[in-house]
């Protein structure tokens, strides 16, 4: 028996089907690969305006021995989100897992944070999660698992010039807790992932986030001695959607290398 086959049987993901929003790069891309290695198929949603080529996600997942389909989706549009979930049914015959990872990050001091910027952020980073989970729940015919990607900003800390982002990410936690209680009778678990400082295209953005230099400097203040990698978060999400976490729902898992527990210096 091969090692990969043993892993498939251990985590219960072999043969399962997942939808992943925000799958063109970063954590979403790493998750599609992680599921491929576990024997699960993925339908990855990508925003058409994303500069990253989602074909690379499909290529990496297939190279890992899995099945992966890419579907264009704007999570601000409920019809497109419904179509993403329906594609999983039409392509693979089932839907077991939903991971809401689509998100935007925009720097905006309070004086510049108008209603349009606020509403756009929440429509993607918070309501986009609701739309994804609602569409998935409508198509899950048996037990399932859902994970929303929150952030250390809002999920744990505040972040100046990013009040709308932090508010959306904090809202994700309340949404997951409430849906966890509502969907538990159907055997559907709902949890939130709170990544710390992770090197992704989003965090490498010098305009709206820390940028390469800022990430490198921040890594010195993390007990692990570095910022995290997208695949490290992806494997934690895989855990939250596999059989090893069968009795875990309504929780928040922080993956941050110890950043939030270090005594301030």
The number of CA neighbours under 13 Å toward the Cβ of 209 is: 20
Task: Report yes or no: 219 and 160 within 8 Å, Cβ to Cβ.
Answer: no
Q: Smallest Cα–Cα separation from 146: which of 177, 184, 185, 192?
A: 192
CA distance 140 to 17: 10
Set 35, 46, 92, 165: catalytic member: 165
Task: Report yes or no: 185 and 211 within 8 Å, Cβ to Cβ.
Answer: no
Q: Say which residue the tokens 């709206």 belong to.
A: 208
Report residue 47 CA to chain centroid gap: 14
To the query of whether residue 165 is one of the catalytic residues in this protein, the response is yes
> Which residues are annotated as catalytic?
165
């Amino acid at each position: 028996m091969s090692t990969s086959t043993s892993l498939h049987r251990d985590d219960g993901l072999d043969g399962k089907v997942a939808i992943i929003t925000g799958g063109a790069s970063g954590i979403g891309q790493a998750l599609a690969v992680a599921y491929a290695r576990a024997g699960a198929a993925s339908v990855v949603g990508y925003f058409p305006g994303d500069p990253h080529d989602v074909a690379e996600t499909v290529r990496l997942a297939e190279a890992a021995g899995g099945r992966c389909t890419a579907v264009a989706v704007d999570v601000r549009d409920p019809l497109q989100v419904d179509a993403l979930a329906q594609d999983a049914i039409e392509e693979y015959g089932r839907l077991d897992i939903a991971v809401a990872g689509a998100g935007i990050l925009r720097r905006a001091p309070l004086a510049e944070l108008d209603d349009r910027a606020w509403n756009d952020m929440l429509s993607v980073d918070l309501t986009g999660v609701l739309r994804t989970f609602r569409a998935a729940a409508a198509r899950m015919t048996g037990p399932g698992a859902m994970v929303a990607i929150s952030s250390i900003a809002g999920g744990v800390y505040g972040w100046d010039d990013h009040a709308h982002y932090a508010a959306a990410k904090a809202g994700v936690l309340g949404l997951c807790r409430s849906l966890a209680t509502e969907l538990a009778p159907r055997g559907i678990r709902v949890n939130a992932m709170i990544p710390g400082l992770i090197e992704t295209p989003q965090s490498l953005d010098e305009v709206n986030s820390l940028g390469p230099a800022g990430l490198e400097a921040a890594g010195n203040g993390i007990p692990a001695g570095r910022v995290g990698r997208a695949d490290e978060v992806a494997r934690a999400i895989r855990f939250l959607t596999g059989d090893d976490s069968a009795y875990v729902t309504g929780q928040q898992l922080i993956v941050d290398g110890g950043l939030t527990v270090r005594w301030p210096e």
